[in-house]
Amino acid sequence: MALMTSRFADGLAVGSDLVEAAENAVGQALSRLSGPADLVCFFICGDDPEDVARAGQAAMKLAPEAHVIGCSATGVIGDGQGVELTPAVSAWAATLEGARLTTFALETLTAEDRFVVVGLPERGGDDHVAILLADPYTFPTDAFVERSVDVLGDLPLIGGLANGLQGRGSVRLFADGEIYTEGAIGVLLSGPVKISTVVSQGCRPIGPSMVVTASEDNLLLELAGQPALARLEDIVSDLDEDDRELVASGLQIGLAMDEYAERHERGDFLIRGVIGIDPDREAVAIGDIVEIGRTVRFQVRDAATADEDLYDLLDAHREELGKVDGALLFSCNGRGSAMFGTADHDPVALRDTLGPIGVAGFFAAGEVGPVAGHNHVHGFTASVLVFSSAAGGP
């Protein structure tokens, strides 16, 4: 629960009457603000997509002077806790004096055998970040985010993939009074507001860093001049029993973001999944395309590693920024109770490290956030948009 005099506040309401829950959650957030709301974000978990739509419509009507965005989800975060797979609404409101906010809705068109995304706002010289909420079933989020530099330059993107308890067709997106059943929506934040991002991928390296010496599409054929599968088997054979179990439950690989670094440790990699092996070619298949010459390092993930990674990143962020006033949290739906045994882990971590600030968000089907200055879509991460006191650049 945020302080009564904060520029950022959150609210949470649990109950099967989603319209009532939306009115309660948004009302809580608005009542705890020190001034008029400029931006309101809300997130709805509900069984019936039409009930979700009605709740979203009600939420948008409560702040007619503010820019409002929201989405459906399989779990929501607010009031210092997470609620999974249960009808609930979380809300977040912010007073951003002097900031410029531009909401947008994106759709995909087919032109000359290729997809074209339309609806992007015009860029300005003082843009800081764009919050992106997307329907994973109808919007090419991975391709759009990976190629965002072509049209958005170095603008950071932060957010998540929405979902619904009924899966495909149940996603609802909301922006400034409109309801969308496909595509993506968001808001561009510009002007005198201090914003930064934290992306916790929660992995720990195993084995040495190695250069890719042969590859084909998403197949690693050789690592450091040896068959990739043989390299992996050597690494696994040297692990203790606990780490071997982590490898068996879901091996990851890190792609080094700075090839010129003397060492590559935890946090220096973009994490991608290992999705299979090809014994005939002694190759390892991963969830990305890696060029020859790239440095990689195998990784494992567990609750302890993910916990340590998030706390370390947030502690460092707080020390660098000083006073933090509010945050939006986009946490993977594979975290929460599935990873930590509790849905509250990530919001509690933010409260422990950043203080009793206004924090809300949702459990996403994929998270969007920058790593080493480049936007990516992630899995099993906590992507956080942090608002600090002082005006200025990000």
Residue linked to tokens 């302890």: 304
Q: 378, 196 in Cβ contact below 8 A? A: no
| pTM across the whole model | 0.92
Interatomic CA distance for residues 90 and 83, integer angstroms: 9
Where in the chain are the domains? 8-200+305-388, 204-301
> Which amino acid type is present at position 10?
D
Interatomic CA distance for residues 359 and 381, integer angstroms: 17
Residue 393: predicted pLDDT:
38
Interatomic CA distance for residues 342 and 336, integer angstroms: 6
pLDDT above 60 for 3: no
Q: 59, 89 in Cβ contact below 8 A? A: yes
Work out the end-to-end distance of the chain between its first and last CA atoms, rounded to an integer number of angstroms.
Answer: 25
pLDDT above 70 for 160: yes
346 alpha-carbon distance from chain centroid:
12
Average pLDDT of span 188-211: 94
Burial class (CB within 10 angstroms; exposed 0-12, middle 13-18, buried 19+) of 89: buried
Q: What angle do CA 70, 149, 266 make, to 5 degrees?
A: 85
Q: In this structure, what token pair is assigned to residue 134?
A: 């997307």
Crossing angle of the two packed helices 303-321 and 345-354, in degrees rounded to 10: 30
Interatomic CA distance for residues 74 and 209, integer angstroms: 37
Interatomic CA distance for residues 342 and 59, integer angstroms: 28
Q: What is the pLDDT of residues 41-65, one digit of tens each?
A: 999 999 999 999 999 999 999 999 9
Average pLDDT of span 167-176: 97
Hey, how many other C-beta atoms are within 10 angstroms of the C-beta on 317?
Answer: 19
pLDDT above 90 for 229: yes
Q: 106, 188 in Cβ contact below 8 A? A: no
Q: In this structure, what token pair is assigned to residue 318?
A: 């707080």
> Which amino acid type is present at position 96?
L
Residue linked to tokens 């390296």: 205
